[in-house]
């Protein structure tokens, strides 16, 4: 089986498909700040009304929001697979004899309740009338829940693509979006079984499968996907994850806008604040999450880091758990630079290719070099003179 380096795991892994080794200049990516998500599902409905409102698509939610730790669509999707993988095997390395990928097909009833577990907290109500903060670590809560928006990750090692015997799934050269060619598909459903995030779905009316399309027509026009533009909590930023600090300026753009994309900074700079979901699956997902800062790090360590004891040199703490704590603190109390980038979330429907943070202003440019955002990072706060009003 071919080998490929996986930077999210910090090691080589097997991947059963000859992939393009060199990185694309432009690759679809997204950062989601879970601390801002309110589970309104505007993103889910925007996606559904755009892409999956036809016959046979009734149960298809390409975009869904789950309440952690009890929600899941399909039910139990992550725990079921993690139990099968054990300590340090990707889904490719744990494949059974004759298979390319380890996975499972969710049953019909697993798909029937996309809102199962919504708003259920983990932990017990303390006895007595007053809920007190946890004395062992005031930063974290005894009772907690958080919302996890889930979508196709347009992985760099897509399991759906590797599993299809018809080669009906491909990764676009220009932006890394993973698409399913419905003319080639014969409904084998290996993709449905293989994707550890369960995003390809079978349409019983047409007899072929469908998968999320990364809103490619909008990306081609320089706009962000519908789930990003519709998000009322301004939880998301979309863009070119591969645009690093040494990138030159786009054509016609002033030199002020040269350099990395804002999502590349959040994911890959020394100030890493966003993490991939279950990187231990080995697909190199390209949706990254700013972790919720009130949730105990033991839980998040399992969800957002490779499933191994040792820690890698490019992580900030001495263990993965310590690293997650540091990243949570950065999300709770962001640096001025990260605060500037956070203002770009939801600021425009145009796709922000480059940005600058200077003093109290953040600016963003689109792929054509047009300035699309120019705003203050912190607004002055006015304190009114005089006595506070009372009704006494
Ligand atoms: Fe394929 Fe699933 Fe990865 Fe999307 S999340 S690219 S469907 S393996
Ligand atoms: Fe291939 Fe999935 Fe169709 S495995 S044939 S793309 S159902």
Mean pLDDT of successive 10-residue stretches along the chain, which has 392 residues: 88 84 89 97 97 95 96 92 86 92 94 88 70 58 91 97 96 96 97 98 97 98 98 97 85 68 97 97 97 94 88 91 95 96 98 96 94 94 76 58
Asked whether residue 3 is assigned to any structural domain, the reply reads no
Q: Is the CB of 169 under 6 A from ligand 1?
A: no
Choosing from 195, 214, 233, the residue where a domain stops is 214
**What range defines the domain where residue 308 resides?**
220-376
Number of the ligand 2 atom closest to the C-alpha atom of 192: 2
Whether 147 and 35 have beta carbons less than 8 Å apart is answered as: no
Nearest to 149 by CA among 240, 282, 267, 37: 37
Q: Is the CB of 199 under 6 A from ligand 1?
A: yes
Asked whether residue 43 is assigned to any structural domain, the reply reads no
The encoded tokens of residue 155 equal: 């992985």
Number of the ligand 1 atom closest to the C-alpha atom of 178: 6
Q: Dihedral angle at the C-alpha atoms of 301, 306, 311, 312, nearest 10 degrees?
A: -130
Ligand with smallest separation from the Cα of 210: 2
Sheet order of strands, 371-376 included: 354-358, 361-365, 371-376
Asked whether residue 34 is assigned to any structural domain, the reply reads no
Residues 224 and 210 reside in one and the same domain: no
Asked whether residue 242 is assigned to any structural domain, the reply reads yes
- How far is the centre of ligand 1, averaged over its atoms, from the C-alpha of 170 (Å)? 11
Q: Is the CB of 77 under 6 A from ligand 1?
A: no
- How far is the centre of ligand 1, averaged over its atoms, from the C-alpha of 309 (Å)? 26
Nearest to 146 by CA among 359, 260, 352, 289: 289
Ligand with smallest separation from the Cα of 164: 2
- How far is the centre of ligand 1, averaged over its atoms, from the C-alpha of 179 (Å)? 9
The whole-number pLDDT of residue 390 equals 67
Asked whether residue 390 is assigned to any structural domain, the reply reads no
Q: Is the CB of 169 under 6 A from ligand 2?
A: yes
The whole-number pLDDT of residue 87 equals 74
Q: Is the CB of 167 under 6 A from ligand 2?
A: no
Residues 172 and 243 reside in one and the same domain: no
Q: Is the CB of 154 under 6 A from ligand 1?
A: yes
Ligand with smallest separation from the Cα of 199: 1
Element (H, E) at 165: none
Residues 190 and 238 reside in one and the same domain: no
Q: Is the CB of 191 under 6 A from ligand 2?
A: yes
Task: Quote the number of domains for the chain.
Answer: 2
Residues 83 and 168 reside in one and the same domain: yes
The whole-number pLDDT of residue 154 equals 98
Residues 58 and 111 reside in one and the same domain: yes
Residues 102 and 188 reside in one and the same domain: yes
CATH number reported for the structural domain that contains residue 157 in this entry: 3.30.70.20
Residue with CA at minimum distance from ligand 2 atom 3: 185
Residues 146 and 237 reside in one and the same domain: no
Residues 61 and 176 reside in one and the same domain: yes
Residues 142 and 272 reside in one and the same domain: no
Q: What is the ipTM of this complex?
A: 0.92
Asked whether residue 146 is assigned to any structural domain, the reply reads yes
Place of tokens 């993988």: 85
Ligand with smallest separation from the Cα of 276: 1
Q: Is the CB of 180 under 6 A from ligand 2?
A: yes
Q: Is the CB of 163 under 6 A from ligand 1?
A: no
Those residues with Cβ within 8 angstroms of residue 183's Cβ, 6 or more apart along the chain or in another chain: none
The whole-number pLDDT of residue 163 equals 95
Residues 243 and 294 reside in one and the same domain: yes
Asked whether residue 150 is assigned to any structural domain, the reply reads yes
- How far is the centre of ligand 1, averaged over its atoms, from the C-alpha of 248 (Å)? 30
Number of the ligand 2 atom closest to the C-alpha atom of 184: 5
Asked whether residue 129 is assigned to any structural domain, the reply reads no
Residues 62 and 199 reside in one and the same domain: yes
- How far is the centre of ligand 2, averaged over its atoms, from the C-alpha of 22 (Å)? 26
- How far is the centre of ligand 2, averaged over its atoms, from the C-alpha of 110 (Å)? 21
Residues 178 and 210 reside in one and the same domain: yes
The residue to mutate among 176, 197, 198, having the most atoms of ligand 1 within 8 angstroms of its beta carbon, is 197
């Amino acid at each position: 089986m071919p080998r490929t380096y996986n930077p999210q795991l910090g090691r080589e892994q097997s991947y059963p498909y000859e992939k393009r080794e060199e990185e694309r200049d432009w690759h679809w990516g997204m950062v989601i700040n879970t601390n801002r998500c309110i589970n309104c599902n505007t993103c889910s409905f925007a996606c559904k009304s755009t892409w999956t409102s036809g016959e046979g698509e009734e149960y298809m939610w390409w975009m869904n929001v789950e309440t952690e730790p009890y929600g899941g669509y399909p039910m139990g999707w992550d725990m079921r697979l993690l139990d099968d993988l054990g300590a340090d095997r990707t889904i490719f390395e744990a494949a059974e004899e004759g298979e390319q990928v380890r996975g499972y097909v969710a049953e019909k009833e697993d798909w029937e309740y996309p809102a199962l577990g919504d708003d259920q907290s983990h932990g017990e109500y303390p006895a007595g009338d007053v809920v007190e903060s946890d004395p062992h670590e005031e930063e974290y809560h005894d009772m907690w829940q958080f919302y996890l928006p889930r979508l196709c990750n347009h992985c760099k090692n897509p399991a759906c693509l590797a599993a299809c015997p018809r080669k009906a799934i491909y990764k676009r050269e220009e932006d890394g979006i993973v698409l399913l060619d419905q003319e080639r598909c014969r409904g084998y459903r290996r993709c449905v079984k293989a994707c550890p995030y369960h995003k390809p779905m079978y349409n019983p009316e047409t007899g072929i499968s469908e998968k999320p399309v990364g809103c490619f027509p909008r990306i081609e026009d320089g706009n962000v996907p519908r789930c990003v533009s519709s998000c009322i909590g301004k939880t998301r930023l979309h863009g070119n994850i591969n645009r690093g600090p040494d990138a030159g300026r786009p054509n016609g753009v002033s030199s002020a806008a040269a350099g990395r994309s804002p999502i590349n900074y959040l994911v890959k700079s020394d100030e890493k604040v966003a993490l991939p979901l279950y990187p231990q699956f080995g697909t190199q997902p390209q949706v990254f999450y700013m972790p919720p800062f009130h949730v105990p790090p033991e839980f998040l360590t399992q969800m957002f880091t490779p499933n191994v004891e040792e820690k890698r040199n490019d992580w900030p703490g001495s263990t993965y758990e310590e690293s997650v704590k540091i990243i949570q603190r950065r999300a709770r109390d962001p640096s001025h630079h990260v605060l500037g980038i956070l203002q770009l979330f939801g600021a425009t429907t145009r796709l922000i290719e480059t940005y600058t943070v200077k003093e109290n202003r953040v600016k963003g440019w689109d792929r054509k070099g047009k300035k699309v955002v120019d705003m203050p990072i912190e607004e002055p706060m006015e304190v009114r003179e005089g006595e506070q009003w009372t009704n006494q």
